[in-house]
A = this chain, B = another copy of it.
Amino acid sequence: MLIAILLYDRFTALDAVGPYEILARLPGAEVVFAAAQRGPVRTDMGSLALTADRLLSEVTTPDILLVPGGPGTAELLADRAVLDWIHTAARASTWTTSVCSGSLLLAAAGLLDGRRATSHWIALDHLERLGAIPSSERVVFDGKYATAAGVSAGIDLALHLAGRIAGPKVAQAIQLAVEYDPQPPYAAGSISTAPAELITSLRASGLVVQHQDA
């Protein structure tokens, strides 16, 4: 089972690594990180690089495609070669998945027309303009397309997917292996629980490296 994770300049690290930590533990999983160029690819905050071991051209028929989000999606929305690769890889895949603003790339590749999908809360309007039916759920399945909300939601998506692929017992074993028993100190992780003034100020702040609307 080949799992391809797309890397690109200014992706968000946890978008890729959260699901990786779950999916790579599936029986028979082979994970490859792929990018337009081989070698280190810098995250949005610049202080971390993940290695792309494969070129996109070397991974065109994955069983699972994972597209992480991040501020770098803004440039990729106009990158025909990457969007074409996403389209090709998704068509070949059994499951096509995204985290955060990665769903904008799936939509721009023409894969989410009329489909229910989610994204980072700050990008849901943009997702709608690209033809998807936006949902504020944390994980959305529509056919073989599975999209997650912002950044950390990729962990939940991956556990859902692990259950569908290998059954609940295996998914639960993976959950216990990574001790995913979350206990956030605050109830501020979604726009339905966070204080209103926090949402307003965050839209204007640098804490969300905001996706630039096209």
Contact = CB atoms under 8 A, between A and B. Distances in A.
Interface of A: 12-14, 17-18, 20-21, 24-25, 30-33, 40, 45, 47-51, 53, 100, 120-121, 138-139, 149-153, 155-156, 159-160, 163, 168-169, 171-186, 188-191, 193-195, 198-199, 201-202, 205, 207-208
Nearest to A30: B47
A176 B151 contact: no
B182 A156 contact: yes
Contact of A151 (B33, B180, B198): B180
A18 B14 contact: yes
Contacts of A31: 45, 47-48
25 contacts: A13-B20, A17-B48, A20-B47, A24-B45, A31-B45, A32-B47, A40-B40, A48-B50, A48-B51, A49-B50, A138-B181, A149-B179, A150-B178, A150-B179, A151-B180, A152-B155, A172-B195, A173-B201, A175-B184, A175-B188, A175-B194, A176-B190, A178-B189, A181-B193, A182-B182
A145 B207 CA distance: 26
Nearest to A19: B14
A30 B48 CA distance: 11
Contacts of A171: 185-186
A195 B175 CA distance: 12
A169 B51 CA distance: 34
Residue from the set A47, A160, A169, A176 with the largest chain B CB neighbour count within 10 Å: A176
Contact of A190 (B12, B21, B50, B179): B179
Contacts of A168: 186
Interface centre among A31, A53, A155 (most CB of B within 10 A): A155
A144 B130 CA distance: 48
Most B CB atoms within 10 A — which of A13, A163, A193?
A13
Contact of A189 (B14, B100, B176): B176
Contacts of A189: 175-176, 178-182
